[in-house]
Structure 1
Amino acid sequence: MRLFSYKGFPMLINLRDEHCPPHAHVDGGTWSARFKFSFWHNSVELWDVVQQSRRPPSAVLEGLRHGLRQPAHLRRARSIWWNKLQTACLDNQLWDSQDNEVVVMKRITSTTYVIGSACYEPDKNKTLLALMGAPEGVEIEL
C-alpha cells in the first residue's frame, strides 16, 4: 500500500510476506531500499539498500527517510502495518521503565521488564505495552 512519493519514488508497505521489524519499501528501478520505523518512538532509519547497477544518491535516501518521519506518513505506515499484521514487533523484547525505552543489550535490573504484548491503537496513535511482572503497563503517545 502506497504511503507517499518523493521525487517520483513511491514508498510502500507491502501487504504480502511481511516480517518484523516494521519497515517500508522503495523500488528505485536500479536499486531498492527499506526503512525501519517503530511503534514506540518516532525515529526512522535506513535499514538497507540493494543496488542492481548503481546506488541512489544519499540526498534521495535522506529525503525518503525524512518523508516517512512526517507525522501523517508515519501514522499511516503504522496503521497499515498494524491492521495487516496485528503486531508492533515488540513482544518478548525488554523494556526499561526507568529510561522508557526498548533495550537490546542491557543487564536486567529492577526496572527492566519483558514486553508480554504490545497493541497499537491507530485512532489514538498510541502503543500499549503489557509488561510481565510489572505492576502496570505502559502507554506510549506517538
Structure 2
Amino acid sequence: MRVGAYKGYVISVFIRDEHCPPHVHVRGKGWDARFRFSFLDGEVELWDVEPERRRPPMAVLKEIRATIMQRHYLARARRIWWEKLQTVCLENHSWNWETDELIPGLVIQRGVYVIARARHDVVGQKTILNLVRAPGFVEIDL
C-alpha cells in the first residue's frame, strides 16, 4: 500500500508475505530499497538495496530517508503496517523498566520485563506495551 512519494519514487508497505522488522519499500529504476522504521521512536534507517550494483547515490537514499521520517509519512506507514499485519514486532523482546529501553530478546533480570503484547494506537499515535509481571504497562508517545 502506498505511503507516499518523493521525486517520483513510490514509498510503500507491502502487505503480502511481509515480515518483521517494520519497513517500507522504495522502488527506483532497476533497484529496490528497504528502510526500517520503529514503533518506539521516529528513527528510520536504510536496511538494504537490491541489487547492490544498481544502488542509487547515497544522497538520493538520504533524501528518501528524510522524507519517510516526516511525521505524516511515518504515521501512515505505521498505520498501514499495524492495520494490515497486526504486529509492531516487539513481542518476545524485553523492556527495561528503569531506563525505558528495549532489550532485544528474552532477558531475565531485575527490572527487565518480557513484552507479552504490543499494539499501536493509530488515533493517539502511541505504542502500548503489556509486560509480563510488570507493575504496569508502558505507553510511548510517537
Name the TM tier (shorter chain).
over 0.9
**TM-superposed deviation, 1:40:** 1.1
Deviation at 1:108, TM superposition (A): 4.2
> How big is the alpha-carbon RMSD for the aligned residues of Structure 1 and Structure 2?
1.6
Q: Which amino acid aligns with 1:67?
A: T
CA contact (8 A) 1:30 1:53 kept: no
Unaligned stretches of 5+ in structure 1?
none
How far did 1:104 drift?
A: 2.3
What CA distance in whole angstroms lies between the structure 2 residues aligned with 1:108 and 1:69?
33
> Residues 19, 106 of structure 1: CA spacing in aligned structure 2 closer, same or farther, 3 A cutoff?
closer
Call closer, same or farther: CA 1:110–1:53 in 2, change over 3 Å: closer
Structure 2 CA distance, aligned partners of 1:135 and 1:22?
A: 28
- Quote the Cα distance in structure 1 between the aligned partners of 2:60 and 2:108: 40
1:38 corresponding residue in structure 2: 38
Q: 1:67 matched to which residue of 2?
A: 67
Q: What is the percent sequence identity of the aligned residues?
A: 49
* Structure 2: 5+ residue stretches without partners: none
1:123/1:105 CA distance change after superposition, 3 Å = closer
TM-score, normalised relative to structure 1: 0.93
Is the contact between residue 30 and residue 52 of structure 1 (CA under 8 Å) also seen in structure 2? no
TM-score normalized with structure 2 length: 0.93
Asked whether the equivalents of residues 94 and 113 of structure 2 are also in contact (C-alpha less than 8 Å), the reply is yes
1-structure distance, mates of 2:97, 2:42: 18
Q: Is the 8 A contact 1:91 1:116 kept in 2?
A: yes
- 1:113-128 equivalences in 2 (<5 Å): 113-128=113-128
Quickly say closer, same or farther: Cα 1:117–1:106, change in 2 above 3 A: closer
Shift of 1:135: 1.0
Q: 8 Å contact 2:22–2:37 — kept in the other structure?
A: yes
Which secondary structure does the structure 1 equivalent of 2:84 belong to?
helix
Change (3 A) 1:133 1:81: same
CA distance in 2, matches of 1:125, 1:35: 20
Q: Give 2:7's aligned residue.
A: 7
User: How far, CA to CA, are the matches of 1:62 and 1:100 in structure 2?
Assistant: 29
Number of residue pairs aligned between Structure 1 and Structure 2:
142
Q: Which amino acid aligns with 1:39?
A: F
